[in-house]
Amino acid sequence: MFDLPNSEGPLEFDNIADDVIDEFDDGGTGPSLPIILLSATSALAGGVIALYVTYRLFALEIELSAGIATFCASVALGISGAGLSIVTGSRAAMANIAFSCGLIVISVLFLGVCTLVGAVTALLLTMVSG
């Protein structure tokens, strides 16, 4: 292609592009969808298991059981989000954990809206059918 002035041979643009990519490789600073989904799933599973264990097996009051379950869900979310970020080499551990929390909140809000719409629909069907 192009000859260098000191006759070292042609200039290879592929090698230059590879060197530039290697130099600026940041190790994945963006959030990762699989990490977000696995972290959210781990948090929900940890919360459900903790609620069952504390309420059924330890026979604690529901308020205390819910508090312990929430704490266990938070711990499971943090450990799984940070652990998966470390394993994959992602530098976006906080973003992954934050998006996992947001996913859980959106899921709970969606469940609440669906429950309310279902309840209102059932009420209206009951009133109309007599």
pLDDT at 103: 94
How is residue 36 written in tokens?
């977000």
Question: At a CB cut-off of 8 Å and minimum separation 6, what does 48 contact?
Answer: 69
For 90-112, the pLDDT digits (tens) are: 889 999 999 999 999 999 999 99
- pLDDT at residue 12 above 80? no
Number of neighbouring beta carbons within 10 Å of residue 54: 20
pLDDT at 17: 60
Q: Are 77 and 97 in contact (CB under 8 A)?
A: yes
Band (55; pLDDT cuts 50, 70, 90): very high
Band (11; pLDDT cuts 50, 70, 90): low
3-state secondary structure of 26: coil
- The residue whose two tokens read 């109309």 is 128
- pLDDT at residue 29 above 80? no
